[in-house]
Amino acid sequence: MSEKRAQTTILVPGKLPSRALERIEEQFHLVRIDRADTALLTDEMKQSVEGIAAATVIDAAFIDALPKLRIIANFGVGYDSVDAAHAGSRGVMVTNTPDVLTEEVADTALGLLINTVRELPKAEAWLRAGRWRSDGAYPLTRATLRGRSVGIFGLGRIGRAIARRVEAFGLPVSYHNRRPVEGVDYEYHPTLLSLASAVDTLISVAPGGAATHKAVNAEVLAALGPNGVFVNVGRGSTVDEPALIEALRAGTILAAGLDVFADEPNVPEALIACENACLLPHVGSASLHTRQAMADLVVDNLVAWFTRGRALTPVAETAHLVAGR
């Protein structure tokens, strides 16, 4: 490690995996604060911080409070928590962690789909409670994967990995994106409503942000129909949660499997009370293997930026930037 890099200050607001913290401390001068709050920034931090490694909200005010900031390394493929457009306008690189979590999240999506349709967590709870012995076999599930058609909202890296798995189950796949994806044969729908009307199983992998805010609304859920199953491993902000709760209660759709929520970790009690909802605490990429790979990519982006002047995985809003602006 060069002496110059050892003097480069990297700020970590809030929590970050220990592997990332250890590697940052080995490579740079690490500074930590409890959260990304400008009130917690000392004058020394404001004059020395050149990089941020974070898994939390980094807004424009926080970016502006650090005049020497050069890079924000986001832990996660989704980066809607970072004001990347503002960072780009200030010449600050923003990176994320794509690819290394693609297969893990796709695995989770299919596991969540199967759990939702076949009620496997409930069946296990039935056994553990002794009800197999006392009450007999677990009731037959109303739903099955057989004969289903699957629509994917967001056919990016993870969406395509999910599609490959869905194909292996012998189910047809179609999708909705802002525009068609080159090189795929899946049926494209120009609107989410059109996609929901054409399928009975909707898997959302869409990113957060203004363009997708509450995109899965009452109209989309109604189009999915009474045999419909909705699975979300993208962002909770893409769903109108009150509308989803009402659709589950009223039987507008059959069931939902959710790994993400609008206000994590605060899951609405009304949603928890829905017997036809399978709920997970945002564990899509939560294996040691994948989280370590994500942590490594966060640090590798910092090292690449400060040694070679280019990031490994820049986000779209800052892909044009090079060090030494």
To the query of whether residue 282 is one of the catalytic residues in this protein, the response is yes
Burial of 140 per CB tally in 10 Å (0-12, 13-18, 19+): exposed
Name the catalytic one among 124, 264, 308, 325. Answer: 264
To the query of whether residue 23 is one of the catalytic residues in this protein, the response is no
Name the catalytic one among 119, 235, 291, 317. Answer: 235
**In the chain, which ranges are E strands?**
9-13, 29-33, 49-54, 71-74, 93-95, 150-153, 173-176, 187-188, 201-204, 229-232, 255-258, 277-279
Task: Name the residue among 248, 231, 243 with its Cα closest to residue 116.
Answer: 231
Cis before 180? omega within 30? no
**In 3-state terms, what secondary structure has residue 129?**
coil
Say how far apart CA 130 and CA 75 lie, in whole Å.
42
Residues whose CB falls within 8 Å of the CB of residue 3, separated by 6 or more in sequence, listed in order:
none
Count CB atoms within 10 A of the CB of residue 2: 10
For the four alpha carbons of 276, 191, 284 and 21, in that order, the dihedral sign comes to negative
To the query of whether residue 235 is one of the catalytic residues in this protein, the response is yes
Do 32 and 12 touch, CB atoms closer than 8 A?
yes
Say how far apart CA 130 and CA 124 lie, in whole Å.
10
User: Tokens 């290394």 sit at which residue?
Assistant: 100
Catalytic center residues: 235, 264, 282
